[in-house]
Structure 1
Amino acid sequence: MIVKEVTGILEELAPLAHAEDFDNVGLLVGDGNQEVSGILVTLDTLENVVDEAIAHNCNLIVSFHPIIFSGLKKLTGDTYVQRVVIKAIQHKIAIYSMHTALDNSVDGVNAKICEVLGIMEPKILIPQKNTIKKLTTYAPLEAVEDLKNALYNAGAGTIGNYSNCSFTTKGIGSYKANENANPTKGDIGKTHFEEEMQINITFTSSVEKKVMNALFKNHPYEEVAYEVLTLENTNQDIGMGMIGSLNKPMKEIDFLNLVKERMHAKGIRHSALLDKNIEKVAVLGGSGAFAIKAAKAAGADLFITADVKYHQFFEAEDSMVIADIGHFETEQFTKNLLVDYLTKKIPNFAVRLSESKTNPIKYL
């Protein structure tokens, strides 16, 4: 198995097209055609992680956070980022990062937090915009079913729990081929009228390339008439944060103690307790203060995240509790999620959970 085959499997879980624009995801170091001897999964790629990969003959590191975030102008070993990249290149170790692509996955970072805390029926808190597209095309009647099936196989036509979704309308198409054309139907220089079906089908932005390739490969006409539009519809399977409910309401202090225990938090910074039961809980791994307003609007009793600034705690406004449990703490189980996923997808392959400590924050 080569590197790009492994990354292709990872992108089924977290398509890179769903990452935030500011992010740096994908293969950051290495050759996508290199044979993989072993995979090491980590939250951060530091020097000790690269050393661990070398020791265990793993030449692919799957990292949640990107080691290269902004542009590198030199590689002299002056910074920890440069030293990591240099050592990885010297030992032919590829580094792949998922970061916000996995944040935005319905089965990603925040789903894992919900699983650990027993939050039931979680849903996306802030759906990502502009992820749903619609293809409209036209095909002769005898070609419609084969073309639709090709589009379905490419990933189009899936809406929630339903697949093979499309809408067709019968009509009459017309065209006149010039002397340079090679028409499938009709004669050069004469206007041809053909009974056709208009096909409407939606797809997510992550599969657009596959869908368009399937359209051009399987459409019978030399020139394909089509339109692709970006829709404003909400996609509940892509976006930041999640919100769900506890199986049974809990007192605030009892739930915070449960969070501290299960998330291995050294301490929890929180806004004022409101002396009410916690039932509806929102979560957002990593720096999630930007989602405070969304959590309130969704009716959360408590919002778990990290990196909340002093004045941002005031935004709770006595309507919910904001709990900052630490950046590392909110994302620590992500590597377990990825190991489990890869092990199921490629059993009997060397996939290791990194044992290196990468949390930069220490507690007195």
Structure 2
Amino acid sequence: MPATLRVALIGPGFMGRMHAHAWRTAPRFFDLPVTPELVVLAGRDAERTAAAAASYGVPESTDDWRTVIDRSDIDVVDICSPGDTHAEIALAALAAGKHVLCEKPLANSVADAERMVAAAEQASSAGAVSMCGFSYRRTPALALARRLVEDGRIGRIRHVRAQYLQDWLSDPEAPFTWRLDRERAGSGTLGDIGAHSIDTAQWLTGEDIMRVSAALRTFVPTRPVRGESVGLGGRAREDAPHERVTVDDAAAFTASFASGALGVFEATRMATGHRNSNRIEINGDRGSIAFDFREMNELEFYDAADPAGEQGFRRIQVNEPEQPYAGAWWPAGHGLGYEHLFTHQVVDFVRAIGGGETAAPTFADAARVQRVLAAVEDSAANDSAAVDVAPASIEGAPA
């Protein structure tokens, strides 16, 4: 292994900022087999990307991601750009022998996702590591929940309930963004935040979702154009130009897991009063676990084996050194925050590159989520009819 792992970060927006912070922070708190170094930031707008690079502490910037792929001094390509770019960038990076970290959802279609899976499997034979960035897996409390499920502490799983509620689009005059354009985003709430709930549920239970019945809603069909439409008081002018919203504002579906467990999922950006409420509960025949990201350093656990007079959900504070990730940080009792999930993601990715761990979620894991997203959309388009989640296929993938 070289002493330094040189990283090209693609995408200067919110997620790029979060990844940049993680790449800088990871080697300062964790023992890593190689030290990551941010080398270049790529974006579409040269001026904006250069300003972001200066802010994030990245020495170089470019407005053409293709220029970084063939550079011999780049080891890792980290993709934080909109979903419509993921497949093209990842396929080019893997063909060039780079390690690839790609934000979720993996792609905008099942076909692209499975092409990426095939390319990742082919590149792995030459030592390239690929991973999809479902960051909530790195929440210490959820990592502990997975350990409890694997150890059989809640028994056979019967129910999964997952909610991801936001409200940043609840105002009908909130401006149009790329996340509301199907061509760029792939889907709306479903792929943006619902994908997290799907991945978390399949990862915690160790089971695939096999069938869904779904409904999607777009409550606000048009939005004012950003920057051209705001009048006095920050409200859109009556004559402001509008763009048509081509994705969902809200998604709800029931799901059947491989074991027969029943799932209920809800994702929305219209839940007024909920800034970022990500909750999951799993009930088994021996106990239950429940997690709410608003209390991200806590896990609720119910053990049905407790004496009748002592039963009830108890709160486990997940900040002890014996618990996942927590030992690298602060003294016991000092909580972590959202940004730490991305640092843990970098740690796991770098350790996988160093050969000490297996990278997860793999592109194949992420493609399983993509197939559920597609089944949800199919069901919603057919009056909530039950739709089976398609099996994996690599049709059209590179040889």
TM-score by length of 1: 0.25
* Higher Rg of the two aligned structures: 1
Q: TM-score, normalised by structure 2?
A: 0.23
